[in-house]
Structure 1
Amino acid sequence: MPNYEFICESCQKPFMLHLGLDALEKKEYACPHCKSVNVKRQISTFQTKTSRKS
């Protein structure tokens, strides 16, 4: 499951959540600081992991 970055539009604090795709699509998440569901997903970087060495 990937990590997603959000910012709360109520308290303006950024946070990161480890969510599955189904939870992300159903918007089953809230701000861990103020418990608001008024959050906006941020664009973030990603990292891939391969088994082959370069």
Structure 2
Amino acid sequence: MPTYQYRCEKCGEMIEHTEHLAEHETAHPPCPKCGSEKVQHTPTPFVAKTPRKS
């Protein structure tokens, strides 16, 4: 399952949450620091590894 990053709008805490792809549209994990439900998904940068050399 992929890990998504969220940012709390109330306190600014960054949250990592593991969820199934089907859950991602409806998931809004509460902030563990302040308990706020107002969290925004933040895009996560990634690097794709391939067997080929560039």
Task: Give TM-score scaled by structure 2 length.
Answer: 0.71
**Which one has the bigger helix percentage?**
1
Match of 1:34 in 2: 34
Identity rate, percent = 31
Q: CA deviation at 1:22?
A: 2.9
Residue type at the aligned position of 1:31: C
Residue type at the aligned position of 2:20: G
Q: CA deviation at 1:37?
A: 1.0
Task: Give TM-score scaled by structure 1 length.
Answer: 0.71
Runs of 4+, deviation exceeding 6 Å: none
Tell me how large the CA RMSD over aligned residues is. Answer: 1.9
Question: 2:15 matched to 1:15?
Answer: yes
What do residues 2-51 of structure 1 show as CA deviations (whole Å, max 9, x unaligned)? Answer: 0001100011111111111233212242111111110011111235678x
Residue type at the aligned position of 2:4: Y
The number of aligned residues is 52
Q: For residues 28 and 13 of structure 1, do their structure 2 counterparts lie closer, same or farther at Cα, with a shift above 3 Å needed? A: closer
Gaps of 5+ in 1: none
